[in-house]
Amino acid sequence: MKNSYPEKPEVKYQKTTVEMGAVVGYMQSLLVPAEIKKSAYIIFRNESANGSKGLNNNYGGVQADSGRWPAKWDNDIVGTVAKTENGTGKVRLFVAFHGWQDSINFLIERVQDRGLYLGGYARLIAKMRISTATDLAIAYKRDWVKGLKAYKPTETEVANFLSMYRQAAKIFL
């Protein structure tokens, strides 16, 4: 496992939590298009179990062993954390953020950059135009969760995502 941040200290894993009302309030305050907020909100909920399973203020599963992130994030990343990844069972390095807001700011930029929002183009792995919420559910599973262009989400995975999308649509107008 390669540490992309060797100059940062390795810090002990600390489970962090944040109340979803605070997350929503913060996201509503950001000058970002609503569709990007909706996607980031859903990813935040999925990756952090509704804010209850942060990893040192990392609520998006942001890794430190897959290459460096843009330099603008260097001051927000306080260290690295070795932890077994939920999806693969492998020990991975994750970034530790100063605070949960840093994680949201990072997540919003990644959603926008990767085109993972309604009206976007998922350009990293899925390579698909996102015209409907169902397209978004498929692109999210392919691009963010599985990393496999051919992955076909189950009906339950799509239904769960669409339920969260409907909730997000009521919050972020």
pLDDT at 86: 74
pLDDT at 88: 78
Architecture of domain 15-171: Orthogonal Bundle (1.10)
Can you tell me the distance from the alpha carbon of 157 to that of 122, in angstroms, rounded to the nearest whole number? 18
Nearest to 125 by CA among 96, 97, 147: 147
Over its C-alpha atoms, the chain yields an Rg (Å, rounded) of 15
Kindly report, residue by residue over 97-119, the tens digit of the pLDDT. Answer: 999 999 999 999 999 999 999 99
Contacts of 169 (CB under 8 A, 6+ apart): 38
The two three-digit tokens of residue 144, written as one number: 């963010």
Kindly report, residue by residue over 32-84, the tens digit of the pLDDT. Answer: 999 999 999 999 999 999 999 999 999 999 999 989 999 999 999 999 999 98
Can you tell me the distance from the alpha carbon of 130 to that of 120, in angstroms, rounded to the nearest whole number? 5
Can you tell me the distance from the alpha carbon of 31 to that of 48, in angstroms, rounded to the nearest whole number? 23
pLDDT at 85: 81
- Give the pLDDT band (50/70/90) at residue 89: confident
pLDDT at 49: 95
pLDDT at 41: 98
